[in-house]
């Protein structure tokens, strides 16, 4: 059975979420026949880099586009011709995909050079997609550089990375660069809602928001988490089920704990923290989530105009809580608490009792 991520993977540019400006430029390049010899797609995981590379490869090589002038103007693949079907099935010999995380040496690049030296067998252009390109060794990068300096006319390189800063400047300068931004919570929720509807699943609204939040801007992670819940959870998907399976707390618990901290109520804070520990939740992750909540609150208090930006990242209900907390916090004390929690979070990595640094930080900064 195919995973939800593979089942609902975009097949055209218009189905890719959140990268409109990048997609417009790529579609225009295809329409105007101004395709570059090398591209660099960079940005967070799960934002559509490899998917876009495959759609680009299909569109460029689509047999229907080559035969139909009117269809070509749409800058989309037909998804039905021999080439499109071969690329979708990962059987197209002219589309070469390499995972540089496991094929990172100079021998791998030399083998690639031998592969691209020959003309395409079926496609118009050979497309070489190198994922996680930043993982290549220095020698491999040097070998790749020689190919990019004098690329074969029939080859297009698409390099993808989550760590742009690790790609040598010599490589970067020989590519057209496109940044793929992390997706907002609302964008992820919208896509998940469509998947849930098509799969006839039952998922309450808070659980949907929690899945989108846990994905941290990655649609792939969101769909994978939803898929995991479908297979592990019988019946409706709820926040309680996600908490049980993932060991993460939902918005409500983060808000409650943060509220006790904001109200300087040490007894309630420690009592609620103890309840969360008894439920077996991940304390380091909880600490990180509380830091994030206080960070949003402090930012909103310092600059209320951030509400417009936050509205794209957060649910309306959660944003209202942040606005309320922003009116209640003391700036200087909140800064000290955030700093203490950051220190506590770092200490958790080296201690067998992860809750201890958090408890000490709270005892030190609350109730006085």
Residues 148 and 216 in one domain: no
Residues 132 and 205 in one domain: no
Which of 130, 129, 135 has its CA nearest to residue 167?
Answer: 135
CA distance 268 to 259: 10
Residues 132 and 235 in one domain: no
When divided into structural domains, the chain yields a total of: 3
DSSP letter, residue 301: H
Confidence of residue 1 (pLDDT cuts 50, 70, 90): very low
Q: Is the pLDDT of residue 248 over 80?
A: no
Residues 80 and 129 in one domain: yes
CA distance 363 to 368: 9
Q: Which of 156, 179, 202 is the last residue of a domain?
A: 179
Residues 86 and 225 in one domain: no
Q: Which of 126, 157, 179 is the last residue of a domain?
A: 179
Tokens of 310: 């936050």
- What pLDDT score was predicted for residue 145? 94
DSSP letter, residue 95: E
Confidence of residue 344 (pLDDT cuts 50, 70, 90): very high
With b for 16 or more beta-carbon neighbours within 10 A and e for fewer, the 213-225 pattern comes to: bbbebbbbbbbbb
State pLDDT tens for residues 92-149: 999 999 999 998 899 999 999 898 889 998 899 999 999 999 999 999 999 999 999 9
State pLDDT tens for residues 4-39: 888 889 999 999 999 999 999 999 999 999 999 999
126 pairs with which residues across the strands? 155
Q: Which of 179, 206, 237 is the last residue of a domain?
A: 179
Residues 223 and 124 in one domain: no
Q: What is the CATH number of the domain that holds 266?
A: 1.20.272.10
Contact of 251 with 319, CB cutoff 8 Å:
no
Which of 208, 270, 215, 214 has its CA nearest to residue 239?
Answer: 208
Question: Angle at CA 24, nearest 5°, toward 19 and 28?
Answer: 150
List the domain range (segments joined by +) for residue 322. 251-365
Residues 8 and 150 in one domain: yes
pTM for the complete prediction? 0.83
Residues 260 and 118 in one domain: no
Q: Name every residue whose Cβ is closer than 8 Å to that of residue 224 and which is 6 or more positions away in sequence.
A: 3, 4, 5
Contact of 122 with 83, CB cutoff 8 Å:
yes
Residues 240 and 256 in one domain: no
């Amino acid at each position: 059975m195919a995973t939800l991520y593979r089942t609902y993977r975009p097949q055209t540019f218009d189905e890719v979420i959140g990268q409109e400006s990048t997609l417009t430029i790529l579609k225009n390049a295809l329409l105007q026949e101004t395709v570059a010899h090398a591209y660099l797609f960079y940005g967070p995981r799960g934002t559509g880099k490899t998917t876009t590379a495959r759609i680009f490869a299909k569109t460029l090589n689509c047999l229907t586009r080559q035969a139909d002038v009117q269809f070509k103007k749409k800058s989309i693949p037909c998804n039905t011709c021999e080439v499109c079907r071969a690329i979708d099935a990962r059987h197209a010999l002219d589309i070469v995909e390499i995972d540089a995380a496991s094929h990172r040496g100079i021998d791998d690049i030399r083998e690639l050079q031998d592969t691209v030296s020959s003309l395409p067998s079926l496609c118009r252009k050979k497309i070489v997609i190198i994922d996680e390109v930043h993982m290549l060794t220095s020698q491999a990068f040097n070998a790749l550089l020689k190919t990019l300096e004098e690329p074969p006319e029939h080859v297009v390189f698409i390099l993808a990375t989550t760590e742009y800063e690790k790609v040598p400047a010599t490589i970067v300068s020989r590519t057209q660069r496109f940044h793929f931004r992390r997706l907002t919570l609302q964008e992820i929720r919208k896509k998940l809602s469509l998947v849930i509807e098509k799969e006839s699943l039952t998922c309450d609204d808070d659980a949907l928001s929690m899945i989108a939040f846990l994905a941290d801007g990655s649609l792939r992670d969101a769909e994978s988490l939803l898929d995991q819940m479908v297979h592990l959870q019988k019946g409706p998907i709820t926040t309680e089920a996600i908490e049980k399976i993932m060991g993460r707390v939902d918005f409500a618990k983060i808000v409650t704990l943060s509220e006790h901290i904001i109200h300087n109520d040490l007894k309630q804070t420690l009592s609620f923290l103890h309840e969360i520990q008894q439920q077996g939740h991940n304390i380091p992750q909880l600490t990180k989530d509380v830091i994030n909540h206080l960070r949003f609150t402090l930012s909103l208090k310092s600059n209320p105009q951030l509400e417009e930006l936050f509205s794209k990242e957060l649910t309306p209900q959660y944003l209202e809580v942040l606005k309320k907390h922003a009116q209640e916090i003391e700036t200087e004390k909140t800064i000290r608490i955030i700093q203490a929690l950051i220190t506590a979070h770092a200490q958790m990595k080296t201690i067998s009792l992860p809750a201890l640094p958090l408890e000490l930080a709270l005892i030190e900064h609350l109730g006085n």
